Amino acid sequence: MKPSWLLIITSDPRTSARPAEAIRIAAGVGTWKKADVSVYLRGPAVLALSEFADEFIDEDNYTRYFPIIGEFGRPIYVEQGAPRLAEIGESPMRYQEISDVELAALAARHNHVARF
């Protein structure tokens, strides 16, 4: 069974380079298919799903690496009811809202969980 890794991203992509770096790492690790990589966005990090990444730090990472993550065969998980979801417009990414209890179960199923 392949190892699995969940990246929890909570930083604001407009003010922090951490979300962009997390997405780059997730794409880089997952693309080899030797580990199952999942991404969860919470709070202001849900803005990373926006149609336009112009205002984000290291914006190229979003256009270059997010599509790779989209090919992993699972949605981007996001905080259910996150207020910022109303601001993302037509997201190019497939995403799924999950509750905190579902996040706890998701984390428990993964071998490694890291927060960015």
Sites of contact with other proteins (CB under 8 A): 8, 10, 42, 100-101, 103-105, 107-115
33 or 112: whose CB is closer to other proteins?
A: 112
Q: What CA–CA distances, in Å, run from 95 to 2, 8, 15, 48, 80?
A: 23, 14, 23, 11, 11
Q: Which is nearer to other proteins, 1 or 86 (CB)?
A: 1
Q: Considering the complex, what minimum distance in angstroms separates the CB of residue 107 from other proteins?
A: 6
In the complex, what is the shortest distance from the CB of residue 108 to other proteins, in angstroms, rounded to a whole number?
5
Minimum CB separation of residue 109 from other proteins in Å reads 7
Q: CA geometry: angle at 16 spanning 75 and 11, to 5°?
A: 45
- Comparing CB distances to other proteins, the nearer of 8 and 69 is 8
Of 86 and 108, the one with the shorter C-beta distance to other proteins is 108
Yes or no: say if 42 and 10 are a contact pair by the CB < 8 Å rule.
Answer: yes
- The encoded tokens of residue 82 equal 């996150």
Residue 29 and residue 95: Cα distance in Å, rounded?
20
Distance CA 66, CA 102 (A): 23
CB of 6 to other proteins, least distance (A): 8
